[in-house]
Structures are given as structure tokens and as C-alpha cells.
Amino acid sequence: MSPFGSIQEQVEVVIAESLYPERELKSHHLSLKIESLISDGRGLARLDGKVFFVSHCLPGESVVARVISDKGSFAEAVCIEVIEGSPERCEPVCAHFGKCGGCSLQYIKPKAQLDFKIQAFLSSLQRIGKLESRAIPDQVEKIEGNSEGYRNRMRFSDANGCWGMKAEKSNQLVALSECPVADPAIQKAIYENLHVGKKEWMVYAADGEIWFSGQKANVAVDGISFSFPVDGFFQSNRDVLSRALPIICGPLETESGRRDSGADMVIADLYGGIGLFSRFFAAGKYSQAVSCVSVDRCPAVQSAIQGVVFRQQSVEQWIRTKEASQRWAMILVDPPRAGLSAAARDYLCKANTNEIRYLSCNPDTFARDAGFLHGAGWNLQRLVALDFYPHTAHLEVYGVFIRE
């Protein structure tokens, strides 16, 4: 049985060439039993003491895989035939699956995708963070939305006059005739092959409007308006963002243990960007209004916002200031994929607060940082998995740490 279903032919050649065009392919086929999925979405299998990372397969499946790269203690492979399939396997929704690098998990039923990503994350907490099971919350909450038409922000390239995306792990471009995960306005632009006049461009779309590189998007999220450069950063899934905000920006735990118990509560919003979370805290949208100090190297803020003070500094610069040492009702961090720097991690371990909220776009670096925080006396009290990018291996995670 093909691992992709009836819409995908010549799977072995297409996948191998699109994923690893620069590597010499080896005619080496193996029968493997897939144990689990790792954080990048590949299956893990073992045979004769060697670990195999296999693309496009599911836990419990028996597959025939073609080895693409042998590294000695481990090897990389692609699934070319499913001998015994998983009930969670389905046919991809996009005609470009297997060529385009935008989505890698479309062969898995949408509801099961998130479960597999959470399992990989929990494994990382133990394997990378060295957290014992008793240090991990019993339940991981889930925030998910639509699996199609959800993506508001995307990057495209000119593929011989067509809208294109890069193949996975390659600079080769795939010309698109459709993109089911894109916002309907982006899908329309792809279908009409709207001329952009650039080799590469960003696009943001919402509420029937579309903006391109060089423009500013104007978007409302739960009643608060934001204006930001399309080439800058803003969450790519507005629906899941709206569902996540009441949790991320919910009531605080104060020094006395009571929620929202008094005035003079100030939070630090590190890696704050345009002040997305700070604005919801300051407005009292989901809790009592609190003052915020938002820290980011290049905040894209054009005007003053009541209740929010912006510090145009890197987090590493800010943590050396006198302000950083004051008492905080809570510290919120939303670092890039690399996670916290050693300096930022050390600051948080000793920070003058009882509560840290950590939003991460990389479960592996979250796991690493969680291990350091746990070792410094912080308890991981709450875990939330946010599926901002269905059909991909990408998972965002949110954790609340309370000082022992």
C-alpha cells in the first residue's frame, strides 16, 4: 500500500528527490516497525542496534523504508510502502503533498496529529529536560481549531510565474495550484495567480482582506486592533490565538496566593514583540487590568499604549538593568525557537516573582529550559499544547511555573 493513498504516484522518487535532492540515494530497503513519532514528525524505528528516522509513517505501522543517509549509529529513511497501516492514516487533502514542504503530516487524521505531537513533547520533557513523570502535569490541555483555511500568514516564492513554496529540506520550488491550509483570501490569490512582482514575499490575510510585503496589516483580535508590518512577526493562526489568549492572559497568581488581589501589580513581558499579550493584560480583557513592561529588541509599536511601557532592548540587555530586579507579579516569556539564552535562563531561575508563564514555539528548547527551571525550584504546574499549525510537525506549548 502506498503511504500517501491514490492521489500520489511514484512516491519513492518524488519524496526522496524533494526531501534530500543533494544526497546520494542508496538502494537499501528495510522492513521496519515504527515505535513513535519524534518532534520533527518522523517515525522512530530500531533494527539491529541502529536507530532509523523514517518520514511519512505512523506509530505501530510496519513499513518498507528506503535508506537515504546512513550516519553510523542512526540512519534517515523514507517510507515507500506500508505493510501494516495505522487506523489514523488518511489520504492527504492537498494535491501537492509529498512535493511541497509546507505540510508534512497530512497523511495523519487531524485529531490524531495533535495527540502524536503531544506524545513527542512529553518524551522531550523526560529525555531532554530530565523531568521525572511526577514533575510533569498529569493532563496536557489542548487548544486546536480548524485544520483547513486556518493560516493567515505565509511566505511564498515565484516559481516560474506561479505562487510557489519550497520543497522540504530543499531550495527547489514547487508551483502551487492550491493550498488548503491557507486563509480563503490567500487561496483565492493562488488560484488567480495574482501577480506580486517579487521573487519572494510574505502575505497576511484576515476577514477577506490581504496584505503583502512592504505593507502594514490591520487586524482585530478579540476586540483589540493591531497594526504591524507584514514582513514582521504576528501569529499565523488568528483562530487558535483567540482561543489561547484567555489562558495566556488569564488571572494572575499573586504573592498572597489569591488571584487579582490588589493594585500595583506589574508583569514583565519578555520577547514582547508588538505588545500583543501586554495589551490584553493592560486592558483587563481576561483578568483584572495590570501594568506591563514589554521588552523586545525591535518592538514594532508606533504609539503609546495605556498601561504598557516598552523597552527597546534585547532581553539580555534588560536583565542587567535595575528595573529587572524588582518584584514582578508574573513574568511572561515568548522566546524564539532557540529558546532562552543562558543569561535569560539564569535570570528566570532567580527572578523576583512567584510565577513564570512560558510560551514556546519549540517543544525541545522548552523541555531544556523547563529542566533548568525545575532544578532551580520551579514547579511546572500547567501544560497546554497549542496546535497553531495543523498538518505540520510544528507544536507550540505553554507552561506555568510556580516557585516551590
Q: Contact 4/107 with Cβ under 8 angstroms?
A: yes
Whether 188 is in a domain gets the answer yes
Last residue of one domain, picked from the residues 210, 236, 262: 236
Residue 246 lies in a domain: yes
> Cell numbers 522512530 correspond to what residue?
44
Residues 282 and 352 in one domain: yes
Would residue 97 count as lying in a domain?
no
Are residue 139 and residue 287 in the same domain, yes or no? yes
Domain assignment present for residue 329? The answer is: yes
Among 236, 251, 282, which residue terminates a domain? Answer: 236
Asked whether residue 177 is domain-assigned, the answer is yes
The domain that contains 375 carries what CATH number? 3.40.50.150
If asked whether residues 203 and 229 sit together in one domain, one would say: yes
Q: How confident is the model at residue 16, as a pLDDT?
A: 41
Give the confidence band of 3 by pLDDT, cuts at 50, 70, 90.
low
Query: What pLDDT is attached to residue 133?
Result: 96
Do 262 and 186 belong together in one domain? no
Per-residue DSSP letter, 91: -
* Residue 298 confidence (pLDDT): 72
One domain, residues 266 and 137: yes
Residues 277 and 301 grouped into a single domain: yes
Strand pairing class (209-212; 200-206): antiparallel
Instruction: Say what the pLDDT of residue 303 is.
Output: 65
Order of strands across the sheet that contains 141-143: 141-143, 378-386, 396-403, 355-360, 330-333, 266-270, 291-296, 308-312
What rounded mean pLDDT belongs to the chain?
90
State the residue range of the domain holding 214: 153-236
Last residue of a domain, one of 216, 236, 256: 236
CATH number for the domain including 43? 2.40.50.140
To 10 degrees, the CA torsion angle through 92, 94, 97, 102?
-120
pLDDT above 60 for 18: no
Domain co-membership, 342 together with 295 = yes
Check whether residue 219 and residue 256 sit in a common domain.
Answer: no
Name the DSSP letter for residue 324: G
- Residue 124 neighbours by CB distance under 10 Å: 22
pLDDT at 90: 96
Three-point CA angle 9, 10, 13, nearest 5°: 145
pLDDT of residue 363: 97
59 contacts 34 by C-beta, under 8 angstroms: yes
pLDDT band with cut points at 50, 70 and 90 for residue 328: very high
Q: What are the pLDDT digits (tens) for 137-194?
A: 999 999 999 999 999 999 999 999 999 999 987 889 999 999 999 999 999 999 999 8
Same domain membership, residue 299 and residue 217: no
Is residue 59 pLDDT above 50, yes or no? yes
pLDDT at residue 21 greater than cutoff 70: no
Do 290 and 203 share a structural domain? no
Classify residue 183: in a domain, yes or no.
yes
Structural domains in the chain (count): 3
Residue 112 maps to a domain: no
% helix / strand / coil in the chain, to the nearest 5?
20, 35, 45
| Predicted pLDDT at 149 | 98
Distance CA 329, CA 293 (A): 11
Could you tell me the pLDDT band of residue 301, with boundaries at 50, 70 and 90? low
Query: So what's the pLDDT on residue 299?
Result: 65
C-alpha cell at 195: 501577480
Answer whether residue 95 is part of any domain.
Answer: no
If asked whether residues 175 and 44 sit together in one domain, one would say no
142 and 160 housed in the same domain: no
What 3-state class would DSSP assign to 68?
A: strand
Q: What angle do CA 395, 398, 399 make, to 5 degrees?
A: 135
